[in-house]
Amino acid sequence: MAKKRASENLDFKDRKAGLVIFGIIHIIIGALCALFMLFSIAGAIAVRALGEGAVPAMSIGQIILAVLLYLLLAVWFVWMGVGSILARRWARALILITSWLWLICGIGGFIVTLLLVPDLYGQMAMRGELPPELIVIFQSITTGFMAFILIVIPGSFILFYSSRHVKATCEQRDPHVRWTDKTPLPVITLSSIFGAVAISMLFLALYRWAIPFFGIVLSGIPGAVVVLIYVVLFAYAAWGTYKLRKRAWWCGLVLTIASGVSVVITFSRVSLLDFYEKMDMPRESLEIIKEFGMFQGSTHLFVWGLMIIGFLGFLFYTKRYFTTFS
């Protein structure tokens, strides 16, 4: 068996050139994210200079969140790009993980786009903001652009970095055992998701700590207490699953089911508009949501339910890697 693996590692096509090309693509995406961050800052300053009522303004929380999000994405893509150019094992592993998450979330986002775009452009045409003959053109452009961003790009990353030739190239050029080699990739993915949830929940501080909680929306101090409890538990699930602790896996399972049920119960009783008001969203943004009828009805609950069911399936798939209660 060992001889067979050794021969397989020797029998591969060097993909160093491809790693450099895809690394440069990652760096370009990172640079674009940094550019969008600057646009967000400049746009927020320009809107406030125009005064209230001129154009819909973003809240301070929305501005900070957008800037931080683009900053994190810029750093991530540049870091991954450099790692790919250097043919690092950890870079290949992390790019594969994030690309799969990007593709899965992108497919969901693309489905939502297909549901919202026709109605959005239809209402613009009814109000005379868009000539009817341009509807099909703009719909096609929007749909094609979203498909490219949400599906084509991550799909191409997955196809390239999942190749055995790319894997062998990285192993040859980076012979050191990295932290991504010590835990199976599906488990690192699970740990990354839990960690991302823990970190993202801290941003609720920008929105008065508003959080759905089994039929009601908590905010202020009660919301902060619940959010921080969630953060600690999800952080433990992230750390423990990476360490292959079975208790952490069970913790993640209970948290996933509890948070999913909480969201479904809450938004079956509370409208999203009421939730956005609790988040202290700007009045102009709320008016736009009302005008276009975004996320009304049970569509968002259906999408959320599918996401939870899909994640639970992945969670149970990873259970095979957890063997001890330590």
Average pLDDT of the residues in 79-84: 97
Burial of 125 (0-12, 13-18, 19+ CB in 10 A): middle
CA dist 311 and 288 (Å) reads: 32
Contacts of 264 (CB under 8 A, 6+ apart): 301, 304, 305
Q: Which helix (H) or strand (E) is 125 found in, with range?
A: helix 89-126
pLDDT tens per residue across span 201-225: 998 988 889 999 998 999 899 999 9
Assess contact for 243 and 324: CB atoms under 8 A.
no
pLDDT computed for residue 196 by the predictor:
93
pLDDT computed for residue 276 by the predictor:
79
Cβ count near 270 (within 10 Å): 15
- Nearest 10 degrees: CA dihedral of 70, 72, 78, 79? -170
Q: What percent of the chain has pLDDT over 70?
A: 81
6 confidence band (pLDDT: 50, 70, 90): very low
Strands 216-218 and 211-213: what pairing?
antiparallel
CA dist 60 and 55 (Å) reads: 15
Assess contact for 230 and 255: CB atoms under 8 A.
yes
Answer yes or no: is pLDDT of 170 > 70. Answer: yes
pLDDT tens per residue across span 84-109: 999 999 999 999 999 999 999 898 88
Answer yes or no: is pLDDT of 136 > 50. Answer: yes
Assess contact for 174 and 87: CB atoms under 8 A.
yes
pTM of the model: 0.81
* The two structure tokens encoding residue 150: 């949400």
